[in-house]
Chain A
């Protein structure tokens, strides 16, 4: 799941290869261009990939600022 999430994030943020290699589980994605505008693209891709719908109250950039946090969010909705 982490690899798929990473793939989505790299694609939506349009990261160059060098930057993409730096993304680890706890990398701060805000330093790589994650903000409220790019986050909508991440959410839509996650929802499509994992068959989930994220509630409005969880739609916060701060909930998606690392790969780990995104994984937690997806797992919450997969259950």
Chain B
């Protein structure tokens, strides 16, 4: 039986998956994004890796930078997670990506090979695939599940997304793909005058970077200065300018592009409502609250996108961002992400959680930590307030090292699932959590 990632996560199988949460992989796909760094943020982002535990199986191997908190692992187990073999590198370097560290740490790869020694079916599944992850797979002597790095580079491009949408007759906001800085400036000025509010997109940004919502001439001027200062503005560089659309909501749907005995296996396995603050994601509603008609439309569009990419040789996960306009119409492609997204790890909670709940609101927020704060302090605060998760209701914290003050310093990031009977309850829990924690 060939490897099917969805089957492995949903039902289990005889495979051992070696997981790697290599968030930030996009920096190896292109060099255009240059930004002001935050050492604190980088450490927090590096430790979001623990959310991979939401989809692991007991026979799997998970590579983490650091050993998770013991109390956290117990909470995850109680929630329904299967804790795999966790391997951590002896090399600790916050300035290096986890993939760089894995490639440098021979004792780590030797340990992984030893764990896999008597296992016939092993596959490597990273968050995203660049040449580094391809080297890791070679070093471990296992197959990789995911796109070829060249396909990942091609697909993870907002210009690709817009062109794909137009070529396939999907609804898109009015906009233009600009070539070079001069055309960007003139188009942005013209569109701002026409529409009053626009969005400028650098094709390769992630996590909200490289996106600018502009509604005044002054803001346009400062945005164009930022672009000139921090980005490659060569004449052959492409940019996108689009009308900013009034919308009801953002959404994300996940598409699996695999193969079963030589035939395509394309499946839309999750549709979520996304809450967004400006251009930055803040949370997901599962299941979504919008019309079944929209879910069906996502299913159809996802299938078309997946089948097309299958014929182009793509294999792996697609995380597709979309939006519902204020008219109720779906814009099915805002961006195609040819990799895992944070939303991917949340997609199987209804399937894997020990006690099924009707509604989940998954979110994250920046939190100020006191000296010595750890995961259990946060959980205790929620328990003292009577909202810690229990009996299908409450707030569950699903990463620990992102709220470990010894690791992150003063500011961490709290990842929560608010679980309850309906959306008013999950919203209530989220508000209470915010009041307690902030």
Q: Which A residues are within 8 Å of any B CB, using their own CB? A: 12, 30-31, 35-37, 39-41, 43-45, 47-48, 59-62, 64
Chain B residues, CB < 8 A from A48: 225
Chain A residues, CB < 8 A from B39: 60-62
Q: In this assembly, does B281 line the interface, its C-beta being within 8 Å of a C-beta of chain A?
A: no
B163 smallest CB distance to A (angstroms): 26
The answer for the CA separation of A36 and B366 in the assembled complex, in Å, is 13
Chain B residues, CB < 8 A from A36: 35-38, 41, 209
CB-based contact B37/A45 at 8 Å: no
Q: In this assembly, does B226 line the interface, its C-beta being within 8 Å of a C-beta of chain A?
A: yes
Interface size on B, residues (CB 8 A): 16
- B218 nearest CB neighbor, chain A only: A11
- A43 nearest CB neighbor, chain B only: B36
Report the tally of A-B residue pairs with Cβ distances under 8 A.
49
Chain A residues, CB < 8 A from B345: none
CB-based contact B37/A60 at 8 Å: yes
Q: In this assembly, does B237 line the interface, its C-beta being within 8 Å of a C-beta of chain A?
A: no
Q: In this assembly, does B368 line the interface, its C-beta being within 8 Å of a C-beta of chain A?
A: yes
Partner of A37, one of B208, B222, B225: B208
CB-based contact B226/A41 at 8 Å: yes
Interface pairs A-B: 3 shortest CB-CB: A61-B38, A39-B36, A36-B38
Chain B residues, CB < 8 A from A12: 222
CB-based contact A43/B229 at 8 Å: yes
On whether A61 and B40 interact (CB within 8 A), knowing A44-B229, A47-B229, the answer reads: yes
Q: In this assembly, does B160 line the interface, its C-beta being within 8 Å of a C-beta of chain A?
A: no
Could you give 28 example pairs across A and B, Cβ below 8 Å? A31-B368, A35-B38, A36-B37, A36-B41, A36-B209, A37-B35, A37-B209, A39-B36, A39-B38, A40-B35, A40-B226, A40-B229, A40-B230, A41-B226, A43-B229, A44-B222, A44-B226, A45-B222, A47-B229, A59-B37, A60-B36, A60-B38, A61-B37, A61-B39, A61-B40, A62-B38, A62-B40, A64-B36
The answer for the CA separation of A56 and B294 in the assembled complex, in Å, is 46
The answer for the CA separation of A48 and B229 in the assembled complex, in Å, is 11
The answer for the CA separation of A64 and B39 in the assembled complex, in Å, is 12
Q: In this assembly, does B164 line the interface, its C-beta being within 8 Å of a C-beta of chain A?
A: no
- A53 nearest CB neighbor, chain B only: B229
- A64 nearest CB neighbor, chain B only: B36
Chain A residues, CB < 8 A from B208: 37
Chain B residues, CB < 8 A from A47: 229
B297 smallest CB distance to A (angstroms): 32
Q: Mark B195-210, 1 if CB is under 8 A from A, else 0.
A: 0000000000000110
Q: In this assembly, does B411 line the interface, its C-beta being within 8 Å of a C-beta of chain A?
A: yes
The answer for the CA separation of A31 and B39 in the assembled complex, in Å, is 16
Chain B residues, CB < 8 A from A43: 36, 229
- B39 nearest CB neighbor, chain A only: A62
Q: Mark B34-64, 1 if CB is under 8 A from A, else 0.
A: 0111111100000000000000000000000
A42 smallest CB distance to B (angstroms): 8
The answer for the CA separation of A59 and B39 in the assembled complex, in Å, is 11
B415 smallest CB distance to A (angstroms): 17
CB-based contact A41/B40 at 8 Å: no
The answer for the CA separation of A40 and B209 in the assembled complex, in Å, is 11
The answer for the CA separation of A8 and B100 in the assembled complex, in Å, is 38
The answer for the CA separation of A51 and B40 in the assembled complex, in Å, is 29
B214 smallest CB distance to A (angstroms): 12
